[in-house]
Structure 1
Amino acid sequence: MIATTPSALHPLNADTIAVLAESLSGATIVGIGESTRFSHETFSTRELVTRALIKDYGFRTLAVQDTAGVGAAIDRYVSGGEGNGVEALGNAWRPWRTEEMVGALDWVREFNRENPDDRVRVIGVKPVLASADDYDAVLDAVRGHAPERLAEVAARLDPIRTAHVLDEHVQRARGVHPGRPFVEQAREAAALVAQLPEVGESVLARMDSIVEYHAHSVAGRGSYAGEAELWAQTIVEDVERTGARVVYWDGISHVSAAPSVFGLGASAGSQATVGSVLRARFGRAYASVAIGFHHGDLGVANVPAPAADFLDAALGDAGLSELWVDLRTDPMPGPAKLRVISGVYDPVRDADEHLGVSDLPEAFDVLVHIREVSAVRWLSS
């Protein structure tokens, strides 16, 4: 258990968010992670800090955990392109498909309208991967060139495209997975389509991207840790190419500046994170922020008070409804467990759902804690 120092705990409000943002303003990259993607309050806090970094300190790139293609679609929208925020998120990872995210993008779009020569860009940290449109293109090509093969290709693609609505590992956790690993079915579909060269190179390339999508998913990798080097390199290359400073939005498990243990994947031991790769590359010019909470109804689950040995329990007992701590000036050294509520969360195993770090100030520069949270507002499918 890490002991909190009352003098180090600052109430979180509009004025102190400005102070918090100022404390991060010297960084080249600021990773801001939520302990859950289902909370209105944690998302809103991250957005307010990001707004301050953009308006007051010149950060001009927003990096999100999604594909390069989704990042490009969002960037077109915030740069003044046609359509609306809901449409811009049409192929986005489901946790981004919320009214809160639309509001954030609308704010960036308005900022860019007012600052056309100094705009904010949005990038996805993952490589280009398949979207729902690719499945349609493959099936349309098979229908047109080899209709007699359509049923067997569709039998493999139709079940696995559901991962674009609900991740495969989440389907397994919720007991709604149709059975066979999606990457196996994708590879079988690819082998069938490869026997039909008349469909054309572009369709074969789309089929390959579908295979890659499932191979790189949490279920396909068999790991919650992500692909730290690959995602971090996207951010590094953007900084080197543009010189722009970056705010990186992800979960706390990814923005941690030190290798970490993922509770549900603890058997794998400590794993590199995007943040740890960025810390190795940029030193303290990479700053990491963890936004956590004590309890609340997230819609997907009613989350109880955390286990007594979680950092969130100590912060929740501090007597402040919302607070922040600068671990650079008031360190709380030592190992810590931080609550994580993912898409596979089950209150029955609440104590297992955490991120473990060997030294808290090495993993995070700033902690934000919100005692009670509520659910995000999902966009309609």
Structure 2
Amino acid sequence: MNPARREVSVPEVLAQIQALALPLSGRDDLDAVVDQVGGARFVGIGEASHGTHEFYHWRGELSRRLIEEHGFTWIGVEGDWPDCWRINRWVRGHTEQHLDARGLLERFERWPTWMWANQDVAAFLDWLREHNLACPEDSRVGFYGLDVYSLWDSLRRIVVWLEANAPDALPDALRAWRCFVPYGEDPQRYAWNTRLVPETCETDVVALLMEVRRQVAKRTITDEDAFDAVQNASVATEAEHYYRIMVRGDQSSWNIRDEHMMATVDRVAAHLGSASKGLIWAHNTHIGDARATDMAHSGMINLGQLLRERHSDEGVALVGFAGHRGTVLAAAEWGVPEQVMVVPGAAGGSHEDLLHRALGRPALLVFGDDRTGPWLSGWRGHRAIGVLYLPRQEHGIYVPTRMGGRYDALLWFEETEALGPLHHEVRPADQEYETEPTGF
């Protein structure tokens, strides 16, 4: 029998998991992963849901150590550019210093607010601001949004910047704005209309992007506000494209979104200079390399894959999260108030089930160079909970995954708790829709 094709027994898989696992109870237990990934220029840190306390808390703990011990200089998150730009200005001590992090995050209004307006993010941002204020201005850690959804907010920011810096260029911005006005700031409505009528706003937003870039290039110094303007113009352009493709039910909308996030990572890294080091926060489905999942069979890519393909020579590390059972903060359908839901024990034969059977306690698993063992090289389901979750449909949210190819390390939790939101959703959301990880 060919040894490479022989049937692998469950005890062999459990033995490999146990051999890799280290106890995880305090931040000092992160030593192995900090040492493993600290030399990389880009470290992606995932989450297995958008509503679990342990994933957010430990992502924050790992980030703190990488900032303090290995000089990471910025964080890019699965969030909107304009909202995160306000956070960036605040944590670096520039604006709204009368607020604490909770006060800043209370202003988040776009559903799902709990992704960022929660107790764990507030605690991390309070720490980050305190850390920054003890550092020289040029050493302070930035906080940036990578996502593509903020079409209307980004257009508003562009108009404000042009009014102050290049009023002669305002007609391009207002032309783009007027193109979207008939759709009542509803990107879904705009996108559906493009299926019926061939006219789109694409030409107008591309012209606006080119004009903003031209105006910025004329300036002798590319200041922070100019950088913000260029990024908002890029968001508006890609958002128009994303929504137009999304309503066709075409999976390429996922690729548009992750390519935009990758382009934003590159722009931020270039803006901050070659010595900058970035931490990337996003769901496992964005952070874990798509080539080690069934996403690849559908022609889908993701941020983790693109980071490895484009920056492996500078150092890229990907860290995932997983849990067995507990509670999660999520919604039953789009736009409705969040609720605490019970997460049942993992499906039999999944990565989570095997981790539970092998360990039964929180653990850190750092994979090292050899990824050939029976667990790391085997294909099994890996749970992915997004902002939407229906426990009765639990069987449909497992992404076939080769763990050793998807991540470089994994943080495992036996039992997890729901995030604590800073405020509750009070009305249905009617704009800025996204593609959910549960859609695989």
Question: Do both proteins adopt the same fold according to a TM-score greater than 0.5, normalized to the shorter chain?
Answer: yes
Corresponding residue SS for 2:411: strand
Conserved 8 A contact 2:148-2:235: no
Deviation at 1:122, TM superposition (A): 1.1
Note the C-alpha offset of 1:157.
2.6
Check whether the contact 1:91–1:131 (CA below 8 A) recurs between aligned residues.
no
Which residue is equivalent to 1:73?
A: 86
Residue 356 (str. 1) matches residue 400 (str. 2): yes
Are the structure 2 counterparts of residues 214 and 374 from structure 1 closer, same or farther at C-alpha, using a change threshold of 3 Å?
A: farther
**Structure-1 separation of matches of 2:417 and 2:403:** 26
The aligned counterpart of 2:175 is: none
Q: Kindly indicate whether residue 27 of structure 2 is the aligned counterpart of residue 12 of structure 1.
A: no
Match of 1:279, SS?
helix
Identify the residue that residue 148 of structure 1 maps to in structure 2. none
One-letter identity of the residue aligned with 1:87: L
Q: Which residue, out of 137, 140, 143, partners 1:122?
A: 143
SS at match of 1:297: strand
For 1:226-375, list aligned pairs within 5 A.
227-241=257-271, 242=273, 243-259=275-291, 261=293, 269-283=298-312, 285-300=315-330, 301-329=341-369, 331=371, 332-357=376-401, 359-375=402-418
> 1:261–1:270: 8 Å Cα contact kept in structure 2?
no
Q: TM-score, normalised by structure 2?
A: 0.66
- RMSD of aligned alpha carbons: 3.9
Alignment of structure 1 residues 167-182 onto 2, 5 Å: none
65, 79, 90: which one aligns with 2:108: 90
Any conservation in 2 of the 1:225–1:254 contact (CA below 8 Å)?
A: no
> Once the 2 structures are TM-superposed, how far is the Cα of residue 214 of structure 1 from its aligned partner?
6.9
Counterpart of 1:176 in structure 2 is none
Distance 1:105 1:11 in 2: 27
Q: Structure 1 residue 374: deviation in Å?
A: 0.8
Corresponding residue for 2:69? 56
Cα deviation for residue 254 of structure 1 reads 0.4
DSSP 3-state at the match of 1:302: strand
Tell me the distance in 1 between the aligned counterparts of 2:389 and 2:378.
26
Return the alpha-carbon distance in structure 1 between the equivalents of residues 192 and 237 of structure 2.
Answer: 9
The CA deviation at 1:368 is: 0.9
**1:279 Cα deviation from its structure 2 partner:** 0.4
Seen in structure 2, the aligned counterparts of structure 1 residues 132 and 292 have a Cα distance that, compared at 3 Å, is same
Residue pair 1:186, 1:214 contacting (<8 A) in 2 also: no
Residues 82 and 154, structure 2, Cα contact 8 Å, conserved in 1: no
Q: Which amino acid aligns with 2:108?
A: G
In structure 2, the residue matched to 1:112 is: 132
Alpha-carbon offset, residue 337 of structure 1? 2.0
CA distance in 2, matches of 1:30, 1:73: 23
Mapped partners of 1:253, 1:309: distance in 2? 20
User: How has the CA–CA distance of structure 1 residues 31 and 104 changed in structure 2, closer, same or farther, with 3 Å as cutoff?
Assistant: same
| Percent sequence identity over aligned pairs | 21
Structure 1: stretches of 5+ with no match in the other structure: 139-152, 162-179, 194-200
The one-letter code matched in structure 1 to 2:288 is: S
Equivalent in the alignment of 1:157: 184
- Secondary structure at 1:31 match in 2: strand
Please point out which of 13, 19, 23 is paired with 1:3: 13
Q: Which amino acid aligns with 1:157?
A: G
In structure 2, list runs of 5 or more residues that go unmatched: 1-9, 160-180, 202-207, 213-231, 331-340, 426-440
TM-score where L is the length of structure 1: 0.75
Counterpart code for 2:414:
R
Q: Alpha carbons of 1:370 and 1:240: their partners in 2 closer, same or farther (altered >3 Å)?
A: same
SS in 2 for 1:236: helix
Q: Letter of the aligned partner of 1:16 in structure 2?
A: D
| Aligned counterparts of 2:265 and 2:50: Cα–Cα separation in 1 | 21
Matched residue, 1:376 = 419
Q: Equivalents in 2 of 1:74, 1:229: separation in Å?
A: 23
Secondary structure of the structure 2 residue equivalent to 1:376: coil
For residues 96 and 369 of structure 1, the distance between their equivalents in structure 2, rounded to whole angstroms, comes to 22
Moved more, 76-85 or 53-62: 76-85
Instruction: Tell me which amino acid in the other structure corresponds to 2:13.
Output: A
Distance 2:194 2:238 in 1: 9
Equivalences, count? 337
SS in 2 for 1:337: strand
The corresponding residue for 1:23 is 36
Does the CA contact (< 8 Å) of 2:128 and 2:141 recur in 1? yes
